[in-house]
Structure 1
Amino acid sequence: LLCQMYARFSAGDQTPVVHFVGETKVRLKDLNLQVSKTHWLSLLPHMENVDNDDEQCSSGELQFALSYSPTVQRLTVILLKVRNVHNSEGRVPNAILIRVYLVSGPKVLRKKTSIQKIVDGGAEFNESIIFTVGQIQLNKAYLRASVREAHSMTEFSTIGHVTVGARRSGKELGHWQRMIDNSKSPCTMWHRLMMKKR
């Protein structure tokens, strides 16, 4: 489902002018249509040919699972695999780690880092990261997983990231929504890593 917002302006006798404000995408297969629910979505600039742009901007893929237990207010991120990872120069990194941020608005609430892995274009992590977060806060929060190249034990650079959460769109919103709708088992998906904008 593609939702677009336009604003209509008119000054006095002049013909009204319509301006494009932004748009967002929602995958219907990710929503529970049996339950009436309000979703807040972020408006983005025009998304024509977005799939082609994503492929050109992608620096690999990250697979992870999400689960949320409302009774204990625990959000679990299971980092599974990375594949086809390369840095901005097109080189395959020697070693990587993943840093996961829990963010609400502009504020980073918590951040946790995986162990470092040696890679050959891909790696398996099978590592769980747990955050404590209330259900009300969950509707405003999002997760940002950042894959970082390790140059030494203390020097790192970001290869790419993915952001999933309630106010995202497309697959990133869908993963979050499936996690909320199905608290009994983890929901696993692959996500493209977007290169850091310069």
Structure 2
Amino acid sequence: VSEQVLLLSAGLSLGFLSLLLLSLMLCYLWRKRKNQGQYEELSSPVPSVPACSAPVILVSQCWYPVGTVHAGLYSSSPLKEVVAPPPGMATRLCFSVEYRHSGEQLMVTLFRLGNLPPRFHRNVTLVELRLLPDDRRPRQAKARGTGPDPEFSDCFIFQVSAVCVPRSTLSVCVLSVEQDCKRLPVGKILFPLEGELSQGGRVLWKDLDRADDTKYSEQGDVQVSLSYSPTQQRLSVGVLGTRGLQVLTDTGVCVQVSLQIHTQVVKMKRSSVVKGENDPCFDHRMAFKLRSQHLDEACLRFELQQPHYINTEAPLLLGDLVLGPFMYAKGPQLQHWMDMVNRPQETVEQWHRLSRAT
């Protein structure tokens, strides 16, 4: 009898506990359903930014949503007031450069151009960025509008080690695109990174080196065109004109172009002599056979020469120029070569300063 009483007591206890748990579960489900009618479920954990608010620039990889700000309660200055161009007539670019050591990333943010020449106001403005000497393919940004001060909203990330940053140069080329898709050079900036990243993320204004700047170098300038055809393995070179040459005699001027691979001269060609002009216009074109695998090993050397009065004597050198990859050239000379490589079949023209002949 005692065993039956114990079993009955245990059964009643288990039944009571089951009813209690079932009651608690039903109560919880009822309260949850009631609360859903009072509150709306959040669709996203990240707060949305009102469309009318000012642009937000992410300055840190570690950020956390806190809340939203109603744009109508605060007065925000437009971009032209926040980064207004400094006084002057030079065409300037506003941008920022920041290096993040944790991810070995160089971040370049474009804001706006200032004082764009009037003839470019109706055109589309493009900016091409490269990180020299290794970056061959340019990153491209398109302005959001036209006029004298077109604005940008672009951020570019270059993966580069901290060891290579001091040896790198940021190349910025500004182009104006006409309705027929013809690209006109506006100017460029070569920004060495060594010693410029102490204050990461600061806003910079830099003057563009104008494409039509007629300031002559000490030895004079030469205009050169380059074009490379991978299918024909052919390097086409044009010597178009000169300006500001320091002519020594009245025997005329010629140009000698040498194709060199490493230290070996592969081919040498010379133009005819142009006489009776202070700034001779050559418009002389020549072609060299060059395999694609040698584009990183070859260079072109240009020598502006004046024939000697005595034919047997060596000509007088007025200046020289070297165009090629990073092992031979830097700055505009390097960029001209890289433009040719990255734009096959297209003729790329550029003025270059002559160096003093040694």
Q: Secondary structure at the match of 1:80?
A: strand
Q: Secondary structure at the match of 2:277?
A: coil
Match of 2:218?
58
Unmatched runs of 5 consecutive residues or more in structure 1:
4-21, 31-45, 47-54
Structure 1 residue corresponding to 2:318, chosen from 159, 173, 176? 159
Deviation string for 1:71-119 (max 9, x for gaps)?
Answer: 00000101100111005xxx46541110001111111111110111114
Identity value in percent: 27
Task: Tell me which of the two structures has the higher relative contact order, counting C-alpha pairs closer than 8 angstroms and 6 or more residues apart.
Answer: 1
| Distance in 2 (alpha carbons) for counterparts of 1:158 and 1:82 | 14
- Per the normalisation by structure 1, the TM-score is 0.69
> Does residue 1:74 correspond to 2:74, yes or no?
no
> Does residue 1:149 correspond to 2:306, yes or no?
yes
Q: Secondary structure at the match of 2:304?
A: strand
Contact 1:86 1:92 in 2 (8 A): no
> Does residue 1:123 correspond to 2:280, yes or no?
yes
Q: Secondary structure at the match of 1:172?
A: helix
Structure 1 residue corresponding to 2:267, chosen from 91, 103, 110? 110
Kindly tell me: are residues 104 and 179 of structure 1, through their superposed partners in 2, closer, same or farther at Cα, counting changes over 3 Å? same
Kindly provide the amino acid, as one letter, of the partner of residue 81 in structure 1. Answer: G
Flag the structure with larger Rg: 2
Q: Secondary structure at the match of 1:120?
A: coil
| Distance in 2 (alpha carbons) for counterparts of 1:144 and 1:26 | 25
Aligned residues: 154
Match of 1:171?
332
Please state which structure has a larger fraction of its residues in strand. 1
Q: Secondary structure at the match of 2:286?
A: strand
| Distance in 2 (alpha carbons) for counterparts of 1:188 and 1:123 | 17
Deviation for aligned residue 1:184: 2.9
Unmatched runs of 5 consecutive residues or more in structure 2:
1-130, 134-165, 175-193, 195-214
Q: Note the aligned Cα RMSD (angstroms).
A: 2.7
